[in-house]
């Protein structure tokens, strides 16, 4: 695919529509106006959908981070509580919330310890219930992140396909209108064509 940026492509399509509106009876207008409007509609839809699902995915990521941060903070809290009562041999590793796999392993070790010692630790059941609730919430959020990421990727693919359509149409229009009008035509040069698509270089007329 030619290396033209999004702004160049959108500007070119807008210029083409402006030329078509100014010259409704021209052969190039009859040939290209309807395809241009259809391609622009699909492109705008693809942009809107991909951006909407990107925002949704990032929001789910944020909520998942908050959920795992709550687990990490609760782990530190119970470690402090255990130190305060002089408990021994409990898991003391400090794990950051973004290392989810390691964090869940540390919590599993802590829960095993609390279950074994709960007859001697008054707050053991309370923390076991909290961990169970927090891990359930974090697991659910992780599933939502995975789901929304897949949806986002689907619309990224849709956007990529639409971008290919835009580029292909601009190529066809530029070649076609250049043949009809000539590259020095005022009408042809009203359109800000992307340099990388069907360039006028090495074209005589």
Q: Give per-residue pLDDT as tens, 107-130.
A: 999 999 999 999 999 999 999 999
| CB atoms closer than 10 angstroms to residue 200 | 15
In whole angstroms, give the CA distance from residue 6 to residue 168: 14
How high is the mean pLDDT of the chain?
A: 94
Q: Determine what percent of the chain is predicted with pLDDT higher than 90.
A: 90
198 domain-assigned: no
70 domain-assigned: yes
Split into its structural domains, the chain has a count of 1
In whole angstroms, give the CA distance from residue 131 to residue 84: 20
17 domain-assigned: yes
- For residue 203, pLDDT over 70 is answered with no
In whole angstroms, give the CA distance from residue 179 to residue 199: 13
Q: Which domain holds residue 24?
A: 6-190
- For residue 182, pLDDT over 60 is answered with yes
203 domain-assigned: no
103 domain-assigned: yes
Do residues 103 and 71 make contact, with C-beta atoms less than 8 angstroms apart? yes
30 domain-assigned: yes
Banded pLDDT at 2 (limits 50, 70, 90): low
In whole angstroms, give the CA distance from residue 46 to residue 77: 46
202 domain-assigned: no
200 domain-assigned: no
Q: Can you give the chain as a three-state secondary structure string?
A: CCCCCHHHHHHHHHHHHHHHHHCCCCHHHHHHHHHHHHHHHHHHHHHHHHHHHHHHHHHHHHHHHHHHHHHHHHHHHHHHHHHHCCCCCCCCCCCCCCCHHHHHHHHHHHHHHHHHHCCCCCCHHHHHHHHHHHHHHHHHHHHHHHHHHHHHHHHHHHHHHHHHHHHHHHHHHHHHHHHHHCCCCHHHHHCCCCCCCCCCCCCCC
pTM, rounded to two decimals? 0.78
Most confident region among 47-61, 88-102, 190-204 by mean pLDDT:
47-61
């Amino acid at each position: 695919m030619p290396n033209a940026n999004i702004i160049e492509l959108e500007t070119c399509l807008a210029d083409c529509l402006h030329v078509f509106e100014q010259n409704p009876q021209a052969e190039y207008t009859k040939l290209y106006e309807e395809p241009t409007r259809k391609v622009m509609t699909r492109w705008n839809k693809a942009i809107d959908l991909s951006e909407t699902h990107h925002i949704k995915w990032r929001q789910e990521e944020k909520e998942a981070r908050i959920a795992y941060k709550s687990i990490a903070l609760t782990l530190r809290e119970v470690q402090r509580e255990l130190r305060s009562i002089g408990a021994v041999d409990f898991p003391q590793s400090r794990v950051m919330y973004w290392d989810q796999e390691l964090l869940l392993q540390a919590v599993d070790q802590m829960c095993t310890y609390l279950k074994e010692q709960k007859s001697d630790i008054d707050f053991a059941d309370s923390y076991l219930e909290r961990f169970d609730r927090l891990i359930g919430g974090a697991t659910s959020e992780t599933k939502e992140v995975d789901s929304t990421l897949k949806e986002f990727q689907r619309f990224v693919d849709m956007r990529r396909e639409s971008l290919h359509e835009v580029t292909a149409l601009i190529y066809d229009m530029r070649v076609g209108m250049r043949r009809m009008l000539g590259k020095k035509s005022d009408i042809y040069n009203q359109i800000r064509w992307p340099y990388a698509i069907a360039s006028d270089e090495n074209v005589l007329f």
